[in-house]
């Protein structure tokens, strides 16, 4: 025979025995640890090539000149790309698998949205550029505004709020302004106990006192209790619909009518709009203001915590008080910005003020508009139907495995709510959540809403395939069983994530909020 394996390479399967061994690097295969940038390089370096300035600074700057550069390292491009790529691999994301966070609507973020948002005509335009040079940008905002008004059946929309909570503030301030215009000083806002924390925080900021409205055994607002409380001191109600238990408030229209009859206004938290978009118009149910989370219903990316965008649709009663600036379509078809200087001329002299610099989260507007145009009226209706179908599928598939406190009262909307009843002594919702991490999923929303003990709120969204849902349901069934039987391994989950459970007590008792490695004595 010719040469007998000169290179010496003889592939072997090796043993299948698992080895729990340490490595010299600390990395294990594709599980990569990554230090801080401050540990990778010392200050004084830079990874950008910048031309020489060509001139000394102005003499008049002399006394202002910074004496020491900010003590921060600059990494070369290869080091930078590697650092952030390695960090990214320690994150779960929608792109990896189901992200069933109730109330967050973690749907697929279409890449077309990213592409159009980056067109130079949108991305590389200054907000104060002369309006004649940005007519297309103004038109894009106006088109989105039109869609939001049509989808909700409302009269006007404030586009400037920067996020959902900011939008809540906008709506509540419109209500306050409307009351002032009527010469009334109503101090109380009624808020269901199940409300998201931003609701009372927002109301308190605006100077209102919050009173809780109790829920019925069927998880909905107790209409009788609410009606009994209405009076000349009640400015209105802040209601989430569908509510935070994932249920549609059947009495929504009656609530609106009663509140209006008593001289108040209805603020609707639109976080759960995904359940009804394109199929139900909140305006038909008598609301006065509703914020829309573009980063929920309209797919703009969550980006690890933000940015968001929270436009607020307004009724005819509240529209006059909407903040500046906003876009308006002129008789000749062009779109203008309405700001402080032309507000009166444009018939909008009662704006409660300005909520932020410039005119809104344009980068999210273009993404949301692309999403809406892609789906159209029929696609959006399908979104709501599939979202609700998926949630009910999860709800019923877990019959007998997890307690569903409102499961008997009828279908849920886009999210299914479970409690920790039936779990073994010493086992909690937290253990199921951490167990889900080991199963390869992001946990559902836990311990919210507060009205259910050990709440688990599952929102699959419409972009989850049936196969994906079945896998998730299978894992949740397994975890529910283990929690009911008291499997001790759950108490120390997760075992397979980049980190085990983290010591949040230490982080709160002795906060370390910045790197100090070069400053220790």
Q: Report the site for other proteins in 132-171 (rule: CB under 8 A).
A: 132-137, 139-140, 143, 147, 150-151, 162-166, 168-169
* Residues 383-422 interacting with other proteins (rule: CB under 8 A): 383, 385-386, 388-390, 392-393, 395-397, 410-411, 413
Give the N- to C-terminal CA distance of the chain in Å, as an integer: 71
Q: Which range of residues in 80-88, 226-234, 262-270, 475-483 is near other proteins by CB under 8 A?
A: 80-88
Q: Which range of residues in 14-22, 225-233, 431-439, 478-486 is near other proteins by CB under 8 A?
A: 431-439
What DSSP line would sit under 41-62, residue for residue? S-TT--SS-----SSPPPGGGG
* Residues 463-492 interacting with other proteins (rule: CB under 8 A): 463-466, 468, 492
Residue by residue, what is the 3-state secondary structure of 227-248?
Answer: HHHCCCCEEEEEEECCCCCCCC
Q: Does 449 bind other proteins (CB under 8 A)?
A: no
Taking the complex as a whole, how short is the minimal distance between the CB of residue 365 and other proteins, in angstroms?
A: 9
Nearer to other proteins (CB atom), residue 12 or residue 520: 520
Nearer to other proteins (CB atom), residue 6 or residue 508: 508
What φ, ψ does residue 376 adopt, rounded to 5°? 65, 180
Nearer to other proteins (CB atom), residue 375 or residue 482: 375
CA distances from 492 to 433, 442, 474 (A): 12, 17, 21
Q: Which residue from 182, 187, 453, 500 is in contact with other proteins, where contact means CB under 8 A?
A: 500
- Entry field: residues in the chain: 521
Nearer to other proteins (CB atom), residue 45 or residue 485: 45
Taking the complex as a whole, how short is the minimal distance between the CB of residue 320 and other proteins, in angstroms?
A: 16
Q: Which residue from 155, 225, 447, 477 is in contact with other proteins, where contact means CB under 8 A?
A: 447
Between CA 7 and CA 35 the distance in angstroms is: 38
Number of residues that bind other proteins (CB under 8 A): 204
* Residues 33-72 interacting with other proteins (rule: CB under 8 A): 34, 36-38, 41, 43-48, 50-55, 57-58, 60-61, 64-67, 69-72
Q: Which range of residues in 29-37, 256-264, 421-429, 482-490 is near other proteins by CB under 8 A?
A: 29-37
* Residues 285-304 interacting with other proteins (rule: CB under 8 A): 285, 295, 301-304
Between CA 156 and CA 169 the distance in angstroms is: 17
Residue with tokens 């889900």: 436
Taking the complex as a whole, how short is the minimal distance between the CB of residue 276 and other proteins, in angstroms?
A: 7
Q: Which residue from 330, 499, 520, 521 is in contact with other proteins, where contact means CB under 8 A?
A: 499
* Residues 251-280 interacting with other proteins (rule: CB under 8 A): 252-253, 276, 278-280
Q: Does 29 bind other proteins (CB under 8 A)?
A: no
Nearer to other proteins (CB atom), residue 193 or residue 316: 193
Q: Which range of residues in 30-38, 224-232, 313-321, 475-483 is near other proteins by CB under 8 A?
A: 30-38
* Residues 301-360 interacting with other proteins (rule: CB under 8 A): 301-309, 323, 340-341, 352-360
- Build a one-symbol-per-residue string for 170-209: x at contacts with other proteins by CB under 8 A, - elsewhere: ---x--x-------------------xxx-xxxxxxxx--
Between CA 237 and CA 243 the distance in angstroms is: 13
Between CA 301 and CA 306 the distance in angstroms is: 8
Q: Are the CB atoms for 113 and 242 separated by under 8 Å?
A: no
Between CA 228 and CA 258 the distance in angstroms is: 10
Nearer to other proteins (CB atom), residue 163 or residue 230: 163
Between CA 215 and CA 238 the distance in angstroms is: 14
Taking the complex as a whole, how short is the minimal distance between the CB of residue 228 and other proteins, in angstroms?
A: 22
Residue 266 is given by DSSP the state E
Q: Which residue from 17, 20, 378, 520 is in contact with other proteins, where contact means CB under 8 A?
A: 378
Torsion of CA 197, 203, 209, 215, to 10 degrees: -50
Q: At what angle do helices 466-485 and 429-438 cross, to 10 degrees?
A: 130
* Angle in degrees, CA 120, 123, 125, rounded to 5: 85
CB atoms within 10 A of CB 486: 14
Q: Which range of residues in 8-16, 229-237, 244-252, 260-268 is near other proteins by CB under 8 A?
A: 244-252
Instruction: For residue 312, give both structure tokens.
Output: 């607020």
CA-based nearest residue to 281, from 380, 194, 140: 380
Q: Are the CB atoms for 91 and 304 separated by under 8 Å?
A: yes
Nearer to other proteins (CB atom), residue 237 or residue 395: 395
Between CA 244 and CA 449 the distance in angstroms is: 6
Q: Which range of residues in 6-14, 99-107, 416-424, 482-490 is near other proteins by CB under 8 A?
A: 99-107
Nearer to other proteins (CB atom), residue 181 or residue 377: 377
Taking the complex as a whole, how short is the minimal distance between the CB of residue 318 and other proteins, in angstroms?
A: 16
Q: Are the CB atoms for 326 and 160 separated by under 8 Å?
A: yes
Burial class for 77, CB neighbours closer than 10 Å (0-12, 13-18, 19+)? exposed
């Amino acid at each position: 025979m010719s040469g007998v394996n000169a290179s010496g390479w003889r592939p072997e399967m090796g043993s299948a025995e698992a080895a729990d061994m340490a490595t010299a690097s600390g990395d294990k295969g594709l599980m990569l640890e990554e230090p801080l940038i401050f540990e990778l390089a010392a200050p004084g370096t830079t990874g950008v090539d910048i031309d020489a300035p060509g001139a000394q600074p102005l003499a008049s700057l002399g006394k202002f000149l910074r004496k020491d550069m900010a003590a921060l390292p600059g990494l070369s491009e290869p080091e930078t790309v590697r650092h952030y790529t390695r960090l990214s691999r320690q994150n779960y994301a929608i792109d990896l698998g189901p992200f069933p966070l109730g109330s967050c609507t973690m749907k697929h973020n279409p890449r077309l949205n990213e592409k159009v948002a980056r067109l130079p005509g949108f991305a590389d335009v200054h907000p104060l550029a002369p309006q004649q040079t940005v007519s297309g940008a103004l038109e894009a905002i106006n088109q989105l505004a039109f869609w939001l008004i049509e989808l909700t059946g409302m009269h006007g929309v404030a586009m400037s709020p920067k996020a959902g909570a900011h939008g809540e503030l906008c709506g509540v301030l419109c209500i306050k302004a409307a009351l002032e215009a009527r010469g009334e000083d109503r101090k109380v806002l009624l808020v269901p106990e199940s409300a998201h924390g931003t609701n009372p925080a927002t109301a308190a900021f605006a100077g209102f006192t919050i009173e809780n409205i109790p829920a019925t055994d069927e998880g909905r607002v107790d209409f009788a209790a609410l009606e009994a409380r209405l009076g000349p001191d009640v400015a209105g109600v802040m209601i989430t619909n569908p509510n935070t238990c994932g249920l549609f408030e059947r009495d929504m229209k009656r609530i609106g009518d009663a509140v209006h009859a008593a001289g108040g206004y209805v603020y609707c938290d639109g976080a759960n709009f995904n359940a009804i978009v394109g199929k139900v118009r909140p305006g038909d149910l008598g609301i006065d203001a509703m914020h829309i989370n573009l980063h929920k219903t309209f797919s703009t990316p969550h980006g690890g915590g933000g940015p968001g965008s929270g436009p607020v649709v307004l009724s005819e009663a509240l529209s006059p008080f909407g903040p500046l600036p906003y876009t308006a379509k002129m008789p000749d078809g062009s779109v203008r910005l309405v700001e402080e200087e032309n507000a009166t001329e444009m018939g909008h002299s009662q704006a409660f003020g300005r909520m932020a610099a410039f005119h809104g989260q344009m980068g999210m507007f273009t993404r949301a508009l692309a999403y809406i145009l892609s789906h159209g009226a029929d696609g959006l209706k399908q979104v709501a139907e599939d979202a609700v179908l998926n949630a009910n599928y999860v709800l019923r598939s877990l019959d007998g495995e997890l307690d569903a406190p409102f499961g008997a009262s009828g279908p849920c909307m886009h999210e299914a709510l479970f409690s920790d009843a039936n779990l073994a002594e010493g086992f909690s919702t937290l253990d199921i959540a951490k167990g889900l991490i080991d199963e390869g999923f992001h946990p559902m929303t836990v311990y919210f809403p507060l009205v259910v003990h050990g709440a688990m709120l599952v929102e699959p969204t419409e972009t989850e395939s049936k196969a994906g849902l079945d896998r998730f349901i299978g894992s949740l069934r397994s975890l529910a069983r283990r929690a009911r039987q008291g499997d001790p391994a759950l108490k120390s989950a997760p075992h397979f994530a980049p980190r085990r459970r983290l010591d949040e007590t230490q982080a709160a008792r002795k906060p370390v909020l910045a790197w100090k490695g070069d400053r220790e004595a």
